[in-house]
Amino acid sequence: MSGVLTVEPLVEGSGVSVRFGSFLALDNLSLRVMPGKVFGLLGPNGAGKTTTIKVLMGLVAASLGNVKVCGLNPLLEPIAVKSRIGYVAENSIVYESLSPRDFFEFVVSMRKIDPVSANRVVSRLADVFDLAAYFDSPIATLSMGLKQKVALIAAFIHQPPVLLLDEPLNGLDAKSSRVVKDLMSLHVQRGGAVLFSTHIMEIAEQLCTRIAIIDHGKVVAVGTLDQLRSKTDGLGSSLEDVFLKLTNEESAVADRSRMLREAFFGNEAH
Ligand SMILES: Nc1ncnc2c1ncn2[C@@H]1O[C@H](COP(=O)(O)OP(=O)(O)OP(=O)(O)O)[C@@H](O)[C@H]1O
Ligand SMILES: [Mg+2]
């Protein structure tokens, strides 16, 4: 095989199970994200998306299976792994009493990175996100979307190869959502990898090279959008149709619509 370059995945989970007490939150889940790829995690509420991301970050220990980020085990080499990941949590813990300026300085000092290049990243991203005007306001006083922008910038400060983003567009307006989508695309063009969760089918459709649909802790389907379509009857043209079919929620959606019509219009519902 000489002369053949093997490319290793930047993110890899194989046979990962996670138990919380007697509850099996992840059940034999496997995924891999290669350099240059955007991988989307879709699934109903409670499916296990956040748990998957936390396992990859080393914040939750797998009961079974193996996890590697940049070839490293997040539990055995937590600092090395975290230095390679830009992480945006579902509920970002951003120190509320600090201003964005103080918070970014804190992140730079914690990460022991060059403050000059870090400040360059921060000021450019603050400009693209229109955040500069809020730089000295306590984070507690910022709106939800502004806090999300602070969390996103903090995840980029050390220019990591891997981005793990849990619903990164949460609370963002249309312009800022576009910025985040562009950031994700540029990141993979430079050879990085992105794994993100979302409930927004359109975003997954636009951005992902591969998509995994998770339900009750299991991957029920993984592949390109076309591969997922072919797992259903192939007629579902949108990812939403495919998603609802694969998670068996099509009939549940129809039921909810009927229940709502009955609640609003009583027996006159049709
Ligand atoms: N620390 C915990 N202790 C007990 N159960 C937990 C814990 N964390 C998550 N779970 C359970 O694991 C399951 C998966 O949760 P998870 O947060 O991963 O779902 P999710 O796919 O991210 O959902 P959502 O779309 O609502 O964000 C849920 O049933 C949740 O209640
Ligand atoms: Mg979640």
For the segment 189-211, what is each residue's pLDDT rounded down to a tens digit?
999 999 999 998 889 989 999 99
Atom 6 in ligand 1: which residue has the minimum CA distance? 20
**If you average pLDDT over residues 264-268, what whole number do you get?**
76
Gap from CA of 166 to ligand 2 centroid (Å): 7
**Average pLDDT of the chain?**
91
Gap from CA of 87 to ligand 2 centroid (Å): 14
In the CATH scheme, what architecture does the domain 1-84+160-224 have?
3-Layer(aba) Sandwich (3.40)
pLDDT band for 270, please (50, 70, 90 cuts).
low
Instruction: Identify the pLDDT of residue 251.
Output: 78
For the entire predicted model, the pTM comes to 0.92
Residue corresponding to tokens 């950031």: 183
In the chain, CATH 3.40.50.300 sits at 1-84+160-224
Atom 19 in ligand 1: which residue has the minimum CA distance? 46
Cβ count near 259 (within 10 Å): 11
CA–CA distance from 79 to each of 21, 74, 191 (Å)? Answer: 27, 8, 22
The 10 Å CB-count burial string (b at 16+, else e) for 55-75 is bbbbbbebeebebbbbebebe
- Phi first, then psi: what are they for 194, rounded to 5°? -125, 130
